[in-house]
Amino acid sequence: MKYSLHWRFLPAQKGLGTLLLVLIFGFTLQASSHREAPLIANDPLADNTDLYAFRSPDNPNMVTIIANYIPAQLPFGGPNYFTFGENIRYEIHIDNNVNTPGDDIIYRFTFQQTNEDPSTFFNIRLGKQNLKTTYTMQKSMDGGLSFQIIIENGIVPPNNIGPRSIESGVGLGAAEYESLIQAAIVSASSGEKVFCGPVDDPFYVDLGGIFDLGDSPRQNSTIRDGLARFNVHSIAIQVPIEMLQKEGKSVDQAQNILDSDFVIGVWASASRPSIRTLNSDGSKPDDSGDWIQVSRLGMPLTNEVVIPLAMKDRWNFETPYQDLGNLSDYGNFFYNPELALYMDDSQFGTAVPAFAGLRIQSKSLGAFDFRNGKDGLFGLKGNPALDGTALDDAVFGTLLLPGAGSPRSVDLWPIFHTGVPNLAPYQLASGKNGDPLATGKPFINNFLPNGGDMLRLNMAVPATPRDDPNFSSLGLVQAAVLGLTDPAFAANTDIEFIPNMDGFPNGRRLEDDVTRIELQAVGGVVLAAIGLWYDDFDPECTPSPVTNLLLNVLQFSTGVESNDAPFSTEFPYLASPWRGTDVRQD
């Protein structure tokens, strides 16, 4: 679980002095979001920034998976513009079967670079590119035991440097930059649609406020999307649902829109060879040795804001399939999340005024305390009221109710580590008649307890049209609101599609405001949705559970609620990368 870094000078070889850098890693390394851990911050080409998985809105038979890398790219970052690195394996991993260990499907991308005109310092000149990048795509259907090449010499568009480099006759002579993106979209021999290249960073958040001790929304200064007008490099694949479903079923064969057999877990990674030899003549380093994973991402913001700084690198050295075995080390960061301390006035709530609208339930239904260190629902252990629910030891063992002093084991921990089953108590309070453990309105089932930190998506859930008036960046939070308050849904306990059931944390759409949703979740909104209401709910005095405390959580906003560029309506859905010659406006 430790790493060591050794430098050794070797004798000159063929007149060249070499410096051997040997990186010996104890485990694989995980990254979650932008520059989130000390070690990966020094290796941007291998740094996962974000991962998305969603039912394609314009093609109901497809799922789109997007893995982004290389954070905070300035559009005018020449002369050495960022691109995918050589000697790095970029991989997208899919787990679709709880009965098989580890990955079931892996997509692997490796990139190659060519300097077409070494005589110039320009990146593009007279139709030639320096650092022209192509890729090979491989696919494994046996968990990585064997791979098949499904794309060779895939095209990576150049960076959007400026009009002279892209459109003019002294540059590439393209009609427009968008034409380069369209030309780079190809179909793999096995049927997937693929794009690799620079794009606008689709993640939006006030990074400055968040990291200023939780000052989000900022109290005394201007709110700013810290990633506005920055680019990333994206690997986007669109895959037929029957190719991802464990038995090859198409979505029209699903029993219902919450069919458990259509749940997949998705994570992304990057790996490097363990040995790098630096040559004294400035030529490319020689990489060799075993491949070592140096970056990994599943759920957004896990390592960035949940895992404490001293543990981030160790967390990065783990795989999702090790997470469930390390509950004694990592579980408490979810059972008792640090952020919850700043939503509790008995702890440090008053020190973070930006979170004033987010307050943890301390006496939900007069009896249940979900503040850090309290017991949550553990006091019900052994009570017949739990029989047949997901919290019954006879159903899932102690997975969701492991012990005292772990109050968020019933909501935050499963969201990040197992997904949520369509089983009481994880149904909306509609139809429960005041009993949170009763059967209610189904609205999620992405339960796949095979590993840890992944995006989990139920592919049977229809996509919410982006032009639907009910479409919301609040994802499942908004689906819960509609399921509780809209008479069209709240009047029954049937399984039926509620808009935004396809939103985060059931997968992740590009539009989803994951920062806001995760902060609301820490504030207890999921507990309230299933009937564990906020402290100011009194059924004798307050007939509606939509109380002031619940409204405060629902109305909470970081102040940055959408991306700085509109998304496309067609694959790969991402916005084109910002142009280096554009004037930045803050």
User: For 133-162, how does the pLDDT look when each residue is reduced to its tens digit (9 = 90+)?
Assistant: 999 999 999 999 999 999 999 999 999 999
Of residues 302 and 502, the one with the higher pLDDT is: 502
Domain co-membership, 430 together with 517: yes
Strand runs labelled E in 247-311: 263-279, 286-297
Length of the chain (residues): 586
pLDDT number for residue 31 = 29
pLDDT number for residue 33 = 56
Percentage of the chain surpassing pLDDT 70?
91
Least confident segment among 11-25, 244-258, 340-354: 11-25
pLDDT number for residue 18 = 32
Q: Does residue 313 carry a pLDDT above 90?
A: no
Q: Look at residue 578 and tell me if it is in a domain.
A: no
Q: Does residue 353 carry a pLDDT above 90?
A: yes
Residue 411 to residue 438: CA distance in whole angstroms? 17
Domain co-membership, 393 together with 462: yes
Statement: the pTM of the whole predicted model exceeds 0.85: yes
Q: Look at residue 213 and tell me if it is in a domain.
A: no
Q: The dihedral of CA 565, 482, 493, 377: what is its sign?
A: positive
Map 516-563 to HEC letters: HHHHHHHCCHHHHHCCCCCCCCCCCCCCCCCCHHHHHHHHCCCCCCCC
Domain co-membership, 306 together with 176: yes
CA 232 to centroid of chain Cα atoms = 15
Q: Look at residue 303 and tell me if it is in a domain.
A: yes
Q: Look at residue 225 and tell me if it is in a domain.
A: no
Q: Look at residue 285 and tell me if it is in a domain.
A: no
- Between the alpha carbon of residue 435 and those of residues 154, 439, 532, the distances in Å are 56, 9, 9
Q: Does residue 22 carry a pLDDT above 50?
A: no
Closest Cα to residue 130, out of 158, 101, 160? 158
Tell me the per-residue pLDDT of 464-505, one tens digit each, with 9 for 90 and over: 999 999 999 999 999 999 999 999 999 999 999 999 999 999
Domain co-membership, 181 together with 156: yes
Least confident segment among 232-246, 450-464, 485-499, 538-552: 538-552
Domain co-membership, 336 together with 431: yes
Domain co-membership, 106 together with 241: yes
Q: Look at residue 236 and tell me if it is in a domain.
A: yes
Domain co-membership, 460 together with 505: yes
Domain co-membership, 387 together with 462: yes
Domain co-membership, 305 together with 330: no
pLDDT number for residue 23 = 31
Tell me the per-residue pLDDT of 32-88, one tens digit each, with 9 for 90 and over: 356 666 677 888 999 999 999 999 999 999 999 999 999 999 999 888 899 999 999
pLDDT number for residue 543 = 79
Query: Domain span at residue 510?
Result: 326-564
- The average confidence (pLDDT) of the chain is 90
Q: Which two tokens stand for residue 209?
A: 């406020």
Q: Look at residue 226 and tell me if it is in a domain.
A: no
Q: Which two tokens stand for residue 51?
A: 């991962």
Domain co-membership, 306 together with 336: no
Q: Does residue 304 carry a pLDDT above 50?
A: yes
Domain co-membership, 254 together with 380: no
Domain co-membership, 405 together with 265: no
The CA-based angle 476-479-480, given to 5 degrees, is: 90
Q: Look at residue 447 and tell me if it is in a domain.
A: yes
Instruction: Quote the number of domains for the chain.
Output: 2
Q: Does residue 537 carry a pLDDT above 50?
A: yes
Tell me the per-residue pLDDT of 414-439, one tens digit each, with 9 for 90 and over: 999 999 999 999 999 999 999 999 99
